Every structure is written in C-alpha cells, then in structure tokens.
Structure 1
Amino acid sequence: MGFLSNKNVMLEQHEESRLDVLRAVANKAAELGVTEDPDAVYQAFLDREDMGATGMTEGFAIPHAKSPAITAATVVVFKNDKALEWPSFDEQPVDIAIALLVPDGEAGTTHIKLLSKTAVLLMDDAFKEMVRSSNDADQIAAAINEKLEEE
C-alpha cells in the first residue's frame, strides 16, 4: 500500500521559513485526509522541533509529528525552491523535508521504524541525488515507499 502517493510530494514550493514549511505540511495532512486538525499537527511538529534539530545533512530534514489528531501514518515530501534556515547536524540550510506524521498510538512502533528507515535513506547518496534532481512526484513516492516497505 505505501506510506505516500504522488499527492504527498510537494514540489516547487516557495516557503520563507522552517515554520512555514511545517505549517504547509500540516495543512497538506488535512488535504490528504489524515487529520481533521492541522493546527494540532502543526503544534506536534513545533513540540518536536523544540526538542532538537530535525535537519540532517546536505539540505535534508526529517521533521516529525506524533499526535492523536493524526489518523494514519503518513510521509510528506516537501521540496522548497530555496534553502531555509533550519537547525541541522551539519549547520547547513534545508530545502528538502521528508516529514513523518504518526498517530499517537503508533508512536513507539511505526514512528521509530519510519524514522530509522528515513535516516538510512538519507545516507544513500544516489537516493538523495534522485530526490534533489527529480521533479517527478511518482518517482520520488515510489523510491521512498520501496525503502520504507522493506523488512
């Protein structure tokens, strides 16, 4: 089935800050039908951001939200048209966020699995290059689903 479809891939976005990106992803969650409360999802992102950097390296971030307002585990990919200030491990700005949204009840299982598999994906240079260079939502969604569904 997959955690994301091409509808979950937000290409050529024009946000001005990390908070704008998180708000856009929370609103996208409502559009995708995995929440009826985008404000609660946004707040869950903010709560997690307060705990430490979600920016990884080379312009990628993995923001994540756990909330009872989220009804199904979902991944949203957000590609911004410019790099934004974002606390990250390499202290570089971020232009691509792979956001994880997880229902509260799955916080210890699905959340950890998605987070670890996404972090492993971001160690794969070929994967990062494909996401960075592609404007094909189907291609990006398929590549992520393939990796997330591996046992």
Structure 2
Amino acid sequence: MSDFVKASQVFVDNPSKSREEVLQLLSEQAVALGMAEDAATVRAAYDAREDMGATGMQDGFAIPHAKADAIKEAGVIVVKLQEPVEWPSFDDKPVDVVISLLVPDGEAGTTHIKLLSNVAVMLMREEFRDAMRATDDAEKIAAIINDGLDA
C-alpha cells in the first residue's frame, strides 16, 4: 500500500466552514479523482454513516467513511482545514484534520475494516498526529499515511 494515498488526494488549508461543507467537498473530489461515479450517492453514504454516530475521533481528527456502489475503488482523501469545524467527536472538540475512507460496497467487510482499523491505530499514536499537524505539504502527508498503512 506504499503509494495508496497520493498527493492529489490531500487538500490542505481548506476553507470549509462546516462538517456538511467538508462532506460535500469529499463527495465531489471522490468523483474528480476517479474514485467514484456519482457525488450525490457518495454524499448520501457519508450522511448515512454520520447519522449512525460520531466519526470525529479525538484531538481534532475525524474519519468519515462512505461505502457505496458508486465508489469504484477504495481510497483515502485527506483534508486539513484552515479553521476547526464543529463535528461530533469522542472528546467533543472541533475537527481540523479529516482522513476520509471510500470503499466500494462489495469490499465493505474487507478493505473497509482494514483501512478503518489501520487509520484508527495510527490516530492513537502521538507521533502520527504530530507529524500530520507539522506539515501542509501534500506529498509529506500522503507519505505519512502510507507509512502508517504499511506498518
């Protein structure tokens, strides 16, 4: 998975002002990046998951994820926000780093679980969180995540 996340999938200094704007951005970028066929279907999948419970973790990180037939290939999109936004989270703090997972419906029990597990483990490590916060270089952010997925 060493090149699973590419710099083109990392958006830094993003001006989105709400969770809804971030989810819309993610849905549109999934199509623009060739990961999905229909932004509205992807957005509906994000919304359905958000309705099930918090995807905001701790320390300003969130892991929204979408599973849908419109998603053609599993992928990750990262958004670093200019300012934190309100997002239901385990520590009730706003979110400023979003690591989104996109998974085809047919891979929901395999790829999805593996990605979610790996990202959750990465977020438990202070050095990962610090490294993600220390740079706005899309190449470096992609490398940090890829290294974590390879570990």
TM-score (norm 2): 0.97
Equivalent residue, structure 2, for 1:137: 138
Equivalent residue, structure 1, for 2:74: 73
Q: CA deviation at 1:3?
A: 2.3
TM-align CA RMSD: 0.9
Letter in 2 for 1:149: D
Paired residues, number: 150
Query: Which runs of structure 2 are paired with 1:1-151 in the superposition (5 Å)?
Result: 2-150=3-151
Return 5+ residue gaps in structure 1 as ranges: none
TM-score (norm 1): 0.97
Distance 1:61 1:107 in 2: 19
**Identity %, equivalent residues:** 52
> Moved runs in structure 1, 4+ residues, more than 6 A?
none
Q: CA deviation at 1:132?
A: 1.1
- Secondary structure of 2:52's counterpart equals coil
Distance 2:137 2:125 in 1: 19
Distance 1:68 1:149 in 2: 27
Show CA shifts across 1:7-49 (max 9, x none). Answer: 0000000011101001001111111101120111011000000
Distance 2:130 2:25 in 1: 24
Q: CA deviation at 1:148?
A: 1.3
